[in-house]
Amino acid sequence: MSTAPLLRLYLFFATENEQALILRRAGMKLYNLIGWDRATDTFTQGQWLRKSLRVEDCALSPDGKHFIYAVHNADPNQRAGAQYTVVSQAPWFTALALFPQDHFWRSGGWFLDNTHYQLHASMEVSDIIGRATGLHQVVSGKVNKDCRTGLRLKNGQPAPLTKALRERLLAGAPAPQHDAFDRYEVQGGRLYRTVGFDLELIHDFTEMTPRFEPAPYSLPRDDSDGLGWHPLDQEDGK
């Protein structure tokens, strides 16, 4: 009996510009990120990670600068635990914010705008990294005349969302789907552009060699206050 290949590309599109992020699954517990400028079809090699990810719980910010991803079945003896959600700077996995969670089916999240995001676990989890400067977690709180959406910052203040976003949330309307999904197709490690009924190869990512390197914004691993920890620790490229 044949087994389907594990190599696959997952595409995430920024809604405010031509930036995109490619999450490449190279194996059962092996992923890497690739930045993609769709205006020029140029690519930036990002970071590799040996973890199990829940792709359906990942999200890219509207400006393409930040990424939310969910890890499950990690080492429960490590600081982050067996399941956690991370906010990182695309195209890297290194955590700016990390939220340990008890259950993998409540992991991951989404961006409301470029500076505000929500997690499925909401108030029940806390960030153990604290480096997501300028980004704010939004949680569901009490609805009153001062906060009709019930969406608040962790300090209880109403989340400063735009009027258009508040109205969409109040109406229960889903986030708009990017039309770029209709213009591209992936097959294994190959990325194509759809041209009529034909496919035009943009790039072949089939052959890539894992390189376990820190992100440009990583702190030293021996940082005395512990903030240098990130999901690549304990990997050692193995």
Task: Tell me the pLDDT tens digit for each residue of 155-202.
Answer: 889 999 998 888 888 787 777 778 898 999 999 999 999 999 999 999
Q: For residues 199 and 106, give the distance between their C-alpha atoms in angstroms, rounded to a whole number.
A: 37
pLDDT (0 to 100) of residue 231? 53
Residue 223 within a domain: no
Residue 199 within a domain: yes
Residue 110 within a domain: yes
Q: For residues 190 and 208, give the distance between their C-alpha atoms in angstroms, rounded to a whole number.
A: 12
User: Between 36 and 146, where is the model more confident?
Assistant: 36
- Secondary element (H or E) of residue 169: helix 163-171
Residue 215 within a domain: no
Residue 213 within a domain: no
Cβ pair 95, 86 in contact under 8 A: yes
Q: What is the pLDDT of residues 6-50, one digit of tens each?
A: 899 999 999 999 999 999 999 989 999 999 999 999 999 999 999
Residue 213, classified by CB atoms within 10 Å of its CB into exposed (0-12), middle (13-18) or buried (19+), is middle
Residue 219 within a domain: no
Residue 228 within a domain: no
pTM: 0.88
Q: What is the pLDDT of residues 72-114, one digit of tens each?
A: 877 766 777 778 999 999 999 999 999 998 766 678 999 999 9
Which residues form the domain of 191?
9-204
**Total domains, the chain:** 1
Strands (E), the chain: 8-13, 19-27, 30-37, 42-49, 52-53, 59-60, 66-72, 83-89, 95-101, 109-111, 116-119, 136-140, 151-153, 184-187, 190-195, 198-204
For 71, the token pair is 């890890």
Q: For residues 91 and 110, give the distance between their C-alpha atoms in angstroms, rounded to a whole number.
A: 17
pLDDT (0 to 100) of residue 234? 45
Q: What is the number of other CB atoms lying within 10 angstroms of the CB of residue 198?
A: 8
Residue 56, classified by CB atoms within 10 Å of its CB into exposed (0-12), middle (13-18) or buried (19+), is exposed
Looking at this protein, which amino acid is placed at residue 230? H
Cβ pair 108, 67 in contact under 8 A: no
